[in-house]
Amino acid sequence: MISGLAGGFLWALDTVILSLVLAPFSMSFAAPVAATALHDVFSALWLALLATIRRRWSSVVRAIKHKDGRRVMLAALLGGPVGMAGYVMAIRFLGPGLAASISSFYPALGLAASALLFHE
């Protein structure tokens, strides 16, 4: 329960920080893309640090060697930056409140898509 609340709080804090960072750049499409690149690089570094501290690199190597693991990594590399760039552009052009409200629907849309497309 606490980690769920902390995750929601930190996601909201991330949204506010991104909106403050992007505020000086009026109507520029390059700023949200650059912010997305920095956001993803710092996220990757943070996850690499956690994997090192928890000594979980063997799981990463095992996933790289497995065909399904490579598919998940490819999907993350293709979808992550595109989705995050869209979210950061929404923060920039719609504002943090509206962008966060709209993005809160993505789990429900993912559930509906998995039920309709994959019959799960």
Q: What is the SS3 assignment for 50-106?
A: HHHHCCCHHHHHHHHHCHHHHHHHHHHHHHHHHHHHHHHHHHHHHCHHHHHHHHCCH
pLDDT number for residue 26:
66
* Percent of the chain clearing pLDDT 70 (strictly above): 98
pLDDT the model gives residue 93:
82
Render pLDDT for 40-50 as a digit per residue (tens, 0 to 9).
888 889 888 98
pLDDT in tens, 72-112: 888 888 877 888 888 888 888 888 888 888 887 878 888 88
Indicate the pTM of the whole model. Answer: 0.64
pLDDT of residue 27: 63
Would you give the DSSP letter of residue 29? S
Tokens 């403050």 correspond to 20
